[in-house]
Structure 1
């Protein structure tokens, strides 16, 4: 019998000692790789809304609209502007002219340089939302001339339930339902004969309070009352809304103005 030398024994021990590790390594390489979940496509950012926050705007008006838009059922990204430009509007779906002004002619001097830009943008498919003072500016002389007609003051007009420019809560007929809205010297709308417009709400004397109308490929939504008013607006003037402070009418107006886009 041939006795293996010590060096041969050591080599065998080394080889046999390495085999389990090599086998384990081979087995590990043979294991199927854990499949990674498919990459998720990047989420689409919310549409952009531009909100005017320039001269003649009240302290709370533009921020209230911004909060409304950010928390809407279909939320928006919001940027404030003081002079709407073609470049800024190009990336936006909605432009909001809030309330809060007291000097229509003075504000028009600030904005008339943007009138052509805004008209072209809405005509091309943009959406204009005018609230109270912003609704006046949707009219003409002075204004952007976006409506199939014009605006006039509701307070103190024949049959009006509001005699002056006080802050108050007004009853409206919103598509057949009685609702109450915050109001302060907002307009009503004088529509041209055979005008194409959807009246969402009427004042107690039957005149339009809230409406949406086409303008070229775009839409114009205007409201004499303030559907965006939150609880702080009522509390500041000691007012109470019999319906409770709700923002559903504001959301409905936004959807109608943008066509649900």
Structure 2
């Protein structure tokens, strides 16, 4: 599948969900991350109150769809469940999906869009988790072999099927996958439990020391765009 925005010479269209299945600040941080990279993307918001609705038609013009952080999984999926087929068809046909925290959960299956070779679970409930509450905090991960500290708010870990074809970019301290890239049909899916896209105010608003992790977010996007 060749997306029109990639074939006409125009800047490739990237859609970032903004609406009731996200929280203020989360879509904007993802959009800023995408804007700051080397891909020359035309970054637009999509959602019920945006100029571009989240639909099969809108997705057909895009190369990438990003699902940012938000509230609870079940509430978000209830709002987005009617878009499940359009999102799956978009990725399966060659599109790129990025999921941050809640967007990572939504890439799973129970409930979710079913884009992963496996499912998701709550990191804070996993054996050996270094965070045991659902508040805003930071979490240690090993990203491509290097220890990093990333903003975190009850993000997922990723449970991979045996022999799953996935590249794990980062793991939590208990060894579970924290960020990965995998194929779905002809497309690619990149998901992260922590928030590498977090801006400085996310940390300062909660009295946390600021950690600059945009390079990790760019690494995730690059792996999806160039994979």
Question: Considering the TM-score relative to the shorter chain, is it more than 0.5?
Answer: yes
- Within a 5 Å distance, the mapping from 1:2-151 to structure 2 comes to 44-82=9-47, 83-102=53-72, 104-151=73-120
Task: Confirm or deny that 1:253 pairs with 2:225.
Answer: no
Is the deviation greater in 199-208 or in 156-165?
A: 156-165
8 Å Cα contact 2:107/2:114 also seen in 1: yes
Q: Which has the higher contact order (CA 8 A, sep 6+)?
A: 2
Separation (CA, whole Å) in 1 of partners of 2:98 and 2:201: 22
Which residue, out of 142, 147, 159, partners 1:190? 159
Task: Measure how far apart 1:45 and its partner are.
Answer: 3.6
Separation (CA, whole Å) in 1 of partners of 2:213 and 2:144: 16
Separation (CA, whole Å) in 2 of partners of 1:110 and 1:58: 13
Task: Measure how far apart 1:246 and its partner are.
Answer: 3.4
Task: Measure how far apart 1:148 and its partner are.
Answer: 0.1
8 Å Cα contact 1:73/1:251 also seen in 2: no
Separation (CA, whole Å) in 1 of partners of 2:164 and 2:126: 22
Task: Confirm or deny that 1:156 pairs with 2:140.
Answer: no
8 Å Cα contact 2:150/2:213 also seen in 1: no
Q: Superposition RMSD on alpha carbons, in Å?
A: 1.4
Q: Given the two structures, how large is their TM-score scaled by the length of structure 2?
A: 0.91
Matched position secondary structure for 1:181: strand
Separation (CA, whole Å) in 2 of partners of 1:205 and 1:224: 14
Gapped regions of structure 1 (runs ≥ 5): 1-42
Which residue, out of 188, 206, 209, partners 2:178? 209
Task: Measure how far apart 1:139 and its partner are.
Answer: 0.3
Which residue, out of 220, 223, 235, partners 2:192? 223
Separation (CA, whole Å) in 2 of partners of 1:186 and 1:80: 23
Matched position secondary structure for 1:63: helix
8 Å Cα contact 1:211/1:223 also seen in 2: yes
Task: Measure how far apart 1:46 and its partner are.
Answer: 2.5
Separation (CA, whole Å) in 1 of partners of 2:62 and 2:209: 35
Separation (CA, whole Å) in 2 of partners of 1:257 and 1:88: 20
The alignment covers a number of residue pairs equal to 215
Separation (CA, whole Å) in 2 of partners of 1:157 and 1:141: 17
- Within a 5 Å distance, the mapping from 1:168-179 to structure 2 comes to 168-179=137-148
Matched position secondary structure for 1:220: strand
Matched position secondary structure for 1:251: helix
Separation (CA, whole Å) in 2 of partners of 1:130 and 1:216: 17
Counterpart in 2 of 1:27? none
Separation (CA, whole Å) in 2 of partners of 1:57 and 1:118: 16
Separation (CA, whole Å) in 2 of partners of 1:127 and 1:202: 22
